[in-house]
A and B are shown apart, each in its own frame.
Chain A
Amino acid sequence: MVTLPFEKNMYELKSKIDELKNLAIDQNMDLDKEIRQLEIKLYNMQKEAYKNLTAWDKVSIARLVERPTALDYINLIFEDFMELHGDRYYGDDSAIVGGIAYLNGIPVTVIAQQKGNNTKENIKRNFGMPNPEGYRKALRLMKQAEKFKRPVICLVDTPGAYCGLGAEERGQGEAIARNLMEMSTLKTPVISIVIGEGGSGGALALAVADEVWMLEHAIYSILSPEGFASILFKDSSRAKEAANVMKITAQDLINFGIIDRIIKEPLGGAHTNVDEMAASIKRNLEESINRLLWEPIEALLIKRYYKFRKIGKIVE
């Protein structure tokens, strides 16, 4: 069991239950009733804790190494995923995976930011921080999807676009900007789902979509809480406080009208039951893709434009 700071009590109770179970077997005792009672208690504790998560708790969940990554979901949601590589200009960025697959028999294009499940994999994936060629690969695959009238599904999970020397030399800003512009008029339905961290412009570059969803404990923000704290509080160690101030949870963002849907996670977070999580995402996708495919593309594009056009709080 993965333990987050707020799960300490639950971890202790879980250990006790396990002890009792062992005892019951070793001593051949009937402790079923006691065990059941404790399990109910644990369930209620979990339920209560997950109802009252702070923004920082969610940051911790969203960043768990054990949190399912894009490829975990892709393999469970889609059939026959075939990965396609390269941006045709410079290289192939392993922080973004993309390809074609079926969603319940419908051909779709899938593009996702990919983190690793361990250190080695994370180094290969650059911790999910794309370089410009990643965004250009994504755009190439989106244009391909447009040509063949395939809906696009993006899974967003990045701390942010990579801040390296080469990334700047190859135009990180231009690559993100172009995606924002091109996605806004892409003539095929686009759904983006923030599955973990939605970090800044690097996340938005895959999230100019007809519908933007978030998993229940995912976060989506203008900058990492650490970066925000360092800029506005001049102290990066105040990240916890920043997380609460920034309004980055799925619940905040649906209230703002910035996202369209929250997909509930299994109790204890997506990592406790990947199959259940994937099945739930799939159900949501099937319904929505079918609905979006029925809409005339011109109407869809107008809606997409105004979806972002209306965001902003001003006084005149």
Chain B
Amino acid sequence: MFEFKRIFKRSRYIEVKNLENEDGEKRPNIPSGMWVKCKTCGKILYSKDLENSIMTCENCRTHFRIGSRERINYTIDSGTFIEYDKNMISENPIDFEGYEDKLQELRDKTLLNEAVITGEGKINGQDTIIAVMDSNFMMGSMGSVVGEKITRAIEKATEAKKPIIIFTASGGARMQEGIYSLMQMAKTSAAIARHNGKGGLYITVLTDPTTGGVTASFAMLGDIIIAEPNALIGFAGQRVIEQTIKQQLPDGFQKAEFLLQKGFIDKVVDRKAMKDTLTEILKMHS
């Protein structure tokens, strides 16, 4: 029987998924919903369009955080990537309660073994060694495994006389491994020093966010330092600074453009132009 009332019933809305989880952390992976709201400008984006624009908002240029696998797909020529140290996982060096469980949970959830993927491959036909950090895995924090994988990748580059490119995305040193994490800063920086000594090229690409012990070690040591637009890059966290100086921080503080203006990075490059820019740099050093 035809129900007259149904004509006025509200149809179902399409669910718009916000790119934020309960902790207020941005979710860098491609959302499952069809529509995505840009966190910066509020525009509703069709997820296929978003993927086509390699996770950047067509309206306001906002670069969504992306995972390490996606990053490698966007950067390395298809079929050329060979991953290093794929199965390396962390121990619990200071016996921090619950750390092993947390790691296992993250491995299951993210299908990553740790917060960095390293390996070699080609960028528009040119050989490179690459390390890509992933903020999905414990905020990209650096513990023993991240330090070891990055150091090995740098050493391989030095030995094979290849360039090394590191995409950073990290909240800093990993607290759960205590002093061991701090020492990874020295270890990775020392490997860069050796690479420099042999005339090797080192490019860093700073992505949102790059902070703490990663900023204070290999992230800031590139021969050429590139950043993605609007990426948060700094040493201390903004809340800590505000508490220390007891005043509000200016707009744009610790953003990629701010660092460019202060002279600490070479270029701000859109994600869409990243592969071409890297290609150009590699060419000039080949």
Contacts and interface: CB of A to CB of B under 8 A. Distances in A.
A177 B176 contact: no
Contact of A315 (B89, B175, B235): B89
A164 B241 contact: yes
Interface stretch (B3-11, B30-38, B181-189): B181-189
Contacts of B264: 171, 174
Contacts of B244: 162-164
Interface string B241-276: 100110101000110000000111000000000000
Contacts of B192: 181
A315 to B, nearest CB: 5
B217 interface: yes
A52 to B, nearest CB: 20
B179 A253 contact: yes
Given A165-B249, A311-B180, A314-B88, A173 B148 contact: no
A160 to B, nearest CB: 9
A181 B219 contact: no
A268 interface: no
Interface residues of B, number: 62
Interface stretch (B73-81, B90-98, B116-124, B277-285): B90-98
Given A165-B245, A313-B144, A177 B190 contact: no
Given A168-B235, A222-B182, A312 B221 contact: no
B240 A232 contact: no
Nearest to A161: B235
A62 to B, nearest CB: 15
B185 A204 contact: yes
A177 B175 contact: no
A102 interface: no
Interface in A216-266: 220-223, 227-228, 231-232, 245-248, 253, 256, 258
Contact of A201 (B177, B182, B240): B182
B105 interface: no
A316 interface: yes
Given A173-B215, A173-B219, A177-B221, A314 B190 contact: no
A172 B219 CA distance: 12
B151 interface: yes
A222 B235 CA distance: 14
A200 interface: yes
Interface string A301-316: 0001100110111111
Contacts of A178: 220-221
13 contacts: A164-B244, A165-B249, A173-B235, A177-B185, A182-B193, A222-B181, A246-B94, A305-B190, A308-B187, A308-B190, A309-B187, A312-B180, A313-B177
Contacts of A96: none
Interface residues of A, number: 51
B151 A168 contact: no
Interface in B37-55: none
A313 B220 contact: no
A180 interface: yes
Contacts of B247: 165
A46 interface: no
Contact of A177 (B94, B145, B173, B189): B189
Interface string B63-106: 00000000000000000000001011111111011000000000
A167 B185 CA distance: 19
Contact of A247 (B179, B217, B219, B236): B179
A201 B185 contact: yes
B193 A184 contact: yes
B178 A247 contact: yes
A150 to B, nearest CB: 21
Contacts of A191: none
B200 interface: no
B189 A180 contact: yes
A287 interface: no
A313 B249 contact: no
A48 interface: no
Contacts of A253: 179
A168 B194 contact: no
A7 B211 CA distance: 41
Given A165-B249, A184-B189, A232 B175 contact: yes
Contact of A313 (B91, B194, B196, B234): B91
| Interface hub of B145, B175, B191 (most chain A Cβ within 10 A) | B175
B216 interface: yes
Nearest to B176: A232
B147 interface: yes
Contacts of B179: 220-222, 246-248, 253, 256, 258
A312 B148 CA distance: 7
Nearest to B90: A314
B242 to A, nearest CB: 9
Given A174-B220, A247-B94, A309 B190 contact: yes
Contacts of B189: 177, 180-181, 184, 208
7 pairs of A and B residues whose beta carbons are closest in the complex: A173-B215, A312-B144, A184-B190, A163-B236, A180-B189, A173-B235, A313-B91
B89 to A, nearest CB: 5
Contacts of A208: 186, 189-190
Contact of A180 (B87, B90, B217): B217
B187 A173 contact: no
Interface in B158-181: 173, 175-181
Contacts of B181: 222
